[in-house]
Amino acid sequence: MSSPAIHTAPLVRIAKRDGIALWKSCLIRLAAVFLALVLSGLFIYSLTKLNPVDVYKAMYAGAFGTSRRTWITVREVMTLLCIAIGLAPAFKMRFWNIGAEGQVLIGGIVTAGMMIHLGNTMPTPLLLLVMGVASLAAGAVWGLIPALFKARWNTNETLFTLMLNYVAIQLTSYCVSLWENPYGSNVVGQINQQTRSGWFPELFGISCGLNVLLVLVLTVGMYIYLRYSKQGYEIAVLGESVNTARYAGIKPSKVIIRTMILSGAICGLAGFIAVAGADHTISVDTAGGRGFTAIIVAWIAKFNTFVMLLISLLLVFLQQGAIEIATQFGLNDFAANVITGIILFCIIGSEFFINYRLIPRSGKEAKGA
């Protein structure tokens, strides 16, 4: 008791990095992706006894093996990317919009409702335009609700948007039971299967050409908006510090509301793309958890829309590949979620090594305790 406790420095010290060279951060991320691929390979190996190289060959065949599969992969990438683009401004502002799932569904419901009720009454290009605008508006409203309360009373937006997801899911169930076809099946089925009214037309001879075009325009647009526009700058400042923003004369409530209208609208548009451009039906699985995956995509890409494209591609590739392997070996599709989880854990874990550095205890420091 008499001698004072001797504090030795911990084995490893953690310090925040001031900055990191681009090549280093890329290297760390590559290492994380590689680790994830090894772990997923092991997971699949333990189930199928395929050697890892064959695993990825089979996965590649699943994602890009035929031109049809390639286009499905591209289509899925575009939908996921669109949601992530919608989330980027909100998250950059540190507004936790967990509600993309709901915003996508609301956009999807509006689109499906119009396809059913307005289909065959007007030419498809006009109908597409009307549906697109309506889904933007619906998503915007769904994003605006929590933003208003956040701006006025600082209501916790994470939990608010989370709850709105389930309101949207129940609304979808309600609409599905209204529109079910055939009666009693509790599924909507392919809408306008004969006339294809309101379906995305082929563009440049590609079935999902319009999906690609829309989302790529958004990708470039959002990149410019966040990086070079005044509003994008305001979002960045607000995300760093509310007080700084106030000091700089930025009105937080105004920026929050404006940004969430934008965020919700783009997520609503993703619902439009998913319904009119991919599924041609509506169900509670139209968003299919992508609203949550997209959050992680936007986050680990640090809101850079082009990096989001790469990450979406990687995730969808793994998912499509895992589904292929699951079919070949009589496993179930949820293998894809396991692999998605593994890779996301690895990537988000690697952020630590980008933001912080580990300083091992040096001999001198240890003695000088």
Partner 1 sequence: MTIFSSQLFMSAIIFGTVILYGALGEILAEKSGNLNLGVPGIMYLGAIAGLAGAFFYEMSTPDPNGFLCLVISLVCAFGASCLGGLLYSFLTITLRVNQNVTGLTLTIFGGGIANFFGGALNTLAGGVGQISVASTSAVYRASLPFANDLGSFGKVIFGHGFLVYVALVLAVCMAWFLNRTRTGLNLRAVGENPATADAAGINVTRYKYVATCLGAGISGLGGLYYTMDYVKGTWASDGTIESLGWLAVALVIFATWKPINVIWGAYLFGYLRWLYNYIEGLGRSSQEIFKMIPYIVTIVVLILVSIRKKRENQPPASLGLSYFREER
Number of residues assigned to the chain: 369
Q: Which residue's CB is nearer to partner 1, number 78 or number 87?
A: 87
Q: Which residue's CB is nearer to partner 1, number 159 or number 224?
A: 159
Residue 258 CB, shortest distance to partner 1, in Å, is 21
Residues that bind partner 1 (CB under 8 A): 14-16, 96, 98, 149, 153-156, 158-160, 162-167, 169-171, 173-174, 177-178, 186, 289, 292-293, 295-296, 299-300, 330-332, 334-342, 344-345, 348-349, 351-352, 355-356
Q: Which residue's CB is nearer to partner 1, number 32 or number 245?
A: 32
Q: Which of 35, 267, 276, 17 is nearest to 136 (CA)?
A: 267
End-to-end CA distance of the chain: 18
Q: Which residue's CB is nearer to partner 1, number 251 or number 302?
A: 302
Q: Which residue's CB is nearer to partner 1, number 276 or number 308?
A: 308
Residue 205 CB, shortest distance to partner 1, in Å, is 36
Q: Which residue's CB is nearer to partner 1, number 132 or number 143?
A: 143
Buried b (16+ CB within 10 A) or exposed e, 239-258: beeeeebeeeebebeebbbb
- 14: phi then psi, degrees, rounded to nearest 5: -115, 130
Contacts of 281 (CB under 8 A, 6+ apart): 112, 187, 188, 189, 190, 191, 275
Residue 28 CB, shortest distance to partner 1, in Å, is 13
Residue 207 CB, shortest distance to partner 1, in Å, is 29
Query: How many whole angstroms separate alpha carbon 65 and alpha carbon 57?
Result: 10
Query: How many whole angstroms separate alpha carbon 181 and alpha carbon 188?
Result: 5
Query: How many whole angstroms separate alpha carbon 42 and alpha carbon 346?
Result: 14
Residue 78 CB, shortest distance to partner 1, in Å, is 20
Alpha helices, H only, 154-208:
157-179
Residue 3 CB, shortest distance to partner 1, in Å, is 20
Q: Which residue's CB is nearer to partner 1, number 128 or number 336?
A: 336
Query: How many whole angstroms separate alpha carbon 130 and alpha carbon 197?
Result: 13
Contact indicator for 86, 271 with CB cutoff of 8 Å: no
Q: Which of 315, 321, 281 is nearest to 298 (CA)?
A: 315
Residue 61 CB, shortest distance to partner 1, in Å, is 21
Residue 250 CB, shortest distance to partner 1, in Å, is 22
Q: Which residue's CB is nearer to partner 1, number 13 or number 196?
A: 13
Q: State the residue for tokens 């129940």.
A: 170
